[in-house]
Structures are given as structure tokens and as C-alpha cells.
Structure 1
Amino acid sequence: MTETITPVGADWRAWQASWDRQQEWYMPDREERFRVMLDMVEATVGDAPRVLDLACGTGTISDRLLTRFPGATSTGVDLDPALLTIARGHFANEPRAEFVTADLRDPDWAGKLPHASYDAVLTATALHWLNSDALATLYGQVAGVLRDGGVFMNADHMPDPSTPRINAAERTFRKARQERERSAGVQDWVDWWQAVAADEVLGGPAAERFKIFNNPSTDNNDHDGNDEPLAWHVTTLRAAGFAEVRPVWCSATDSLVLGLK
């Protein structure tokens, strides 16, 4: 884990880096899942894809996509005003990236996209915020914006309740590592949002964000959420119209599930 990064104002690169460090506190294998995701993009739809970065946040996937593939383009979609402010600032001089504000719970969210179809739809550590019914609906909508032969990938928490002893051992190990890193000054989710809220540039977008999702420093119940295992995602994606579905990467707690239309 690298040192804490303290961004200020419109230093968008620093904000992007600080977001990455905060997320890595939860997922030290985060870059590995992105590498596999982009490997599978190239394997299935080539090295110049039109990509929808779903629930894009600060544009983490888009950043890695456009760095690896000079011929790629990306549309990021999210509802969070603060994260989108960072994304739009970070990619202000990148013509291959565009961003759309939309609520994925809105039945008409896909109508706000600038393109009718995409080669790939990618998302990571975001859709667990939706409850199971909403996520099943979203999977069907994702199939609708993919071209035939297009690929969808979701890297997220997909726990396995059938292995309680393994789960407990992993949790104990993870919590001990996180406590050591917190003692060294690494930011967690609440710390990061407090820094955003206190910033003179991002404070306004953060206040708007807290109206939508609540403030994580005062309310941890800012989403319905789902806790579905990998098998649920495979079954639900197949029911949504994907011809082939399987995991292509996993950790002790997370999986990267791929659906080919």
C-alpha cells in the first residue's frame, strides 16, 4: 500500500490517485481484476472497443482502458455529482472519454447515452449498492445496450455462504491488515469523503452527493444493497439474454463475472 495522497482543489490527478488508494485499502488486488477485465475485452471484442463504463465513479476503468487501448472510446455513466466532477476534470483534455449523469434505477437511464450500442459494458465494485431486484432489471437493460457479440463484465463482492470457516479466516486476516494500514494513516471510505466535503472545490458537489446518497460519515445505511453469490449473477445474466456467462477471475471475497451476448 502506498502512502496517503492529500489532494487539494482542482488537482484532478491527485483526487483520482487518492480515490485509488482508498479503494485499495479494501481491495489490495484491485489492479489485478482490472488487468483481467481488459484482457478479456481484448480477447472478445478487440483492442479498439466502444465501452460503457457503468457506475463509473471517478473513471477508474476508463483511465485504464484508454491508457491500454489508444483506439478505445469510453462513456462513463454515474449519478454521484462529486465523483463525476473528479472524472470530468481528470478527462477534460481526453476526447475519447465522455460522461453522462444518470440514475441506473431510472427505467430510462439508457436513453441518456450518446450511443445506441456498445462493444463492452464494464463495471467494478459498484452494483452491490443496488438491491437484487434492481440489479436483475439492470442486467436486462445492459443486454439491451450491447451489440450482438458484445461483452459485459462486473467485478464485485460475490460472497459464498457455503464456506463459513474460510470466510471467517479471510475476514480476520483482512481486518488485521486494514487495522495496520489505518494506523499508518491510510484513508478509509469515511475519511475520504470527509476530505472531499472539506475541499473548497469539491465541497459543493459533495453536498449534492450527500442529498442523494446520504453522508457516509453520519449514516452508513445509504443503500439497499445485495449480497448475492456468484451463482446468482450467472443465472440472472443468462436469464437476461447472455448466451455465455462465467467467472474469469476471483479472490477470496470477489468475482469478475463475464457475460457474452
Structure 2
Amino acid sequence: MNWEQWQRSWDRQQEFYMPDREERFRVMLDLVEAAAGRAPRVLDLACGTATISLRLFARLPDATSVGIDRDPALLRIAERSFEGDTRASFVTADLDTPDWIAALLDEPFDAVLTATATHWMTATPLARLYGDIVKLLRPGGIFLNADHMPEPANPLLNALDETVQKAHRKQAGKAGALDWDRWWAAAAADPQLAEDVAASREILSRHDIGQEHPADWHLTRLREAGFLEAGVVWRSVTDAVIAAIR
């Protein structure tokens, strides 16, 4: 597959688990434009294949983006997808380590965006990460995080949502969407990605499994980190988009 096809394949794999994925991105970009205008400088945090940056440029062509991730296979797809596009640049770094921000402190960002990434982190490094993000944003800048944030107090609703999601995944699979494991198997079988996939799997094996937290946990940590305001700007039964203003 070419790089555009890999982007589409990644989208379908993610939509296998998140049928409302594009709605989350729309809400996020609405707020970025409202907070920073039509030419924002954006940090695409834990960017993966740079899904957010692709949608950012489609919505705001004069924006610029720095994508940061530790996964070599996903970064390969991102870098090749944006080859020759001076609006996008990429940094390899591990957000679990305190020194990840060293290469990003020269100029403040208008917005920091991330999606389906923070649940890979445990509580202590995630709380530290929120403090790091404050240092990277200009005053008035916005941070947006879309992720799985189930409410433990709602076990019956959570169970109903899982029933709905299972039905969606069944239909998506019938339509040809790959799940997580099959997507990575397909990437490993592509000679242009095989070496990077092997490195990706080795990196993942050396990291702890993350923790999911309800939205209120995230909002509390963001306020403790120094954000002026933090709130939920979109949610489903078990997922949410949270925003915080520097």
C-alpha cells in the first residue's frame, strides 16, 4: 500500500472502535479555531500517523503542526504522508520521560491536541505530562484530549455501551475494517514498514500498560498543573473530549 492507503487503513481501524471519531475531531478543531484563529501553531501530541494534523490542515490550511510520538512505524507513515509539506514536522520522543519537551521549548504553541493516547500512560507520568504541557502553551492557549474516560459510577450504562460497541465492531468487521491486531499484522507484512513495526512492538513490550481515568480525574490534574480552566466539551457514554485553557 502507499502512504495514503495506510492512512485510510489506520482510520478504518480506529473507527472500528470509535464510530464517532470524526465528530470528536470536529469539536476539537472548532475550539482550536475559536481560541487561536486560522493559522495556529499546533502540537500534535502522541501523533501516531498524524491523523489530527491531516484534519487540521484540511480545516485550517495556514496552520503549522509539530507531531511527536515514540512509535517508529506510525511516525514512518506520518512522515511519508507529509513529505515535502513544510507545515508539518515530526519529533521522536517518549512522553513517559521527563525530558521529552527539551526540543519544543523555543516557541510556544497555540494549541496542544491529543487523541486516544493518554490511556497508555499510568497516573504519575500523565500528571507530570499535564504540567509539561502548561509550559509549552502560550497564555490563552488550549489543550484538548480525546480519550476513553468511563465513569466507574455508571456500570449499567457502561455495560449497555459495550453492547452497542460490540454490535458496531461486528458490522465494521463484516465491512472489511481491520481490528488492532490484524492491522499491525498487515503492517508487519509490508516490506516498507516491517522493520519499523518490529521496533514498535519491542518498544511497547518495555512499557507499562496504562490506566483509564474518569473525566473528573483528568480535569483535577489539569487544574493542579496550572491551567486556568478545564472542562468536558464532548462526551459519549464512555469517551470524552476534555479541554483546558492556559
Give the TM bin, normalised by the shorter chain: over 0.9
Matched, 1:68 2:53: no
**In 2, are the aligned partners of 1:154 and 1:258 still within 8 Å (CA)?**
yes
CA deviation after TM superposition for structure 1 residue 186, in Å: 1.9
Query: How many residue pairs align between the two structures?
Result: 246
Report the equivalent of 1:142.
Answer: 133
**In 1, are the aligned partners of 2:149 and 2:240 still within 8 Å (CA)?**
yes
CA deviation after TM superposition for structure 1 residue 180, in Å: 3.0
Structure 1: distance between partners of 2:34 and 2:138: 16
Matches within 5 A, 1:196-211: 196-211=187-202
**In 2, are the aligned partners of 1:245 and 1:259 still within 8 Å (CA)?**
yes
**In 1, are the aligned partners of 2:105 and 2:136 still within 8 Å (CA)?**
no
**In 2, are the aligned partners of 1:118 and 1:146 still within 8 Å (CA)?**
yes
Report the equivalent of 2:222.
Answer: 237
**In 1, are the aligned partners of 2:73 and 2:193 still within 8 Å (CA)?**
yes
Q: Which moved more, 1:103-112 or 1:180-189?
A: 180-189
Secondary structure of 1:108's match? helix
TM-score (norm 2): 0.97
Structure 2: distance between partners of 1:61 and 1:28: 16
CA deviation after TM superposition for structure 1 residue 114, in Å: 7.1
Deviations 1:3-27 (A, max 9, x none): xxxxx2xx11110110000000000
Structure 1: distance between partners of 2:118 and 2:48: 12
Structure 2: distance between partners of 1:79 and 1:73: 20
Report the equivalent of 1:108.
Answer: 99
Identity of aligned residues (%): 54
Secondary structure of 2:170's match? helix
Q: Unaligned stretches of 5+ in structure 2?
A: none
Q: Unaligned stretches of 5+ in structure 1?
A: 1-7, 215-220
Structure 2: distance between partners of 1:102 and 1:83: 13
Report the equivalent of 1:17.
Answer: 8
Structure 2: distance between partners of 1:123 and 1:57: 10
Matches within 5 A, 1:1-261: 8=1, 11-113=2-104, 115-214=106-205, 223-261=208-246
**In 2, are the aligned partners of 1:102 and 1:112 still within 8 Å (CA)?**
no
CA deviation after TM superposition for structure 1 residue 176, in Å: 2.2
CA-based RMSD of the aligned residues comes to 1.3
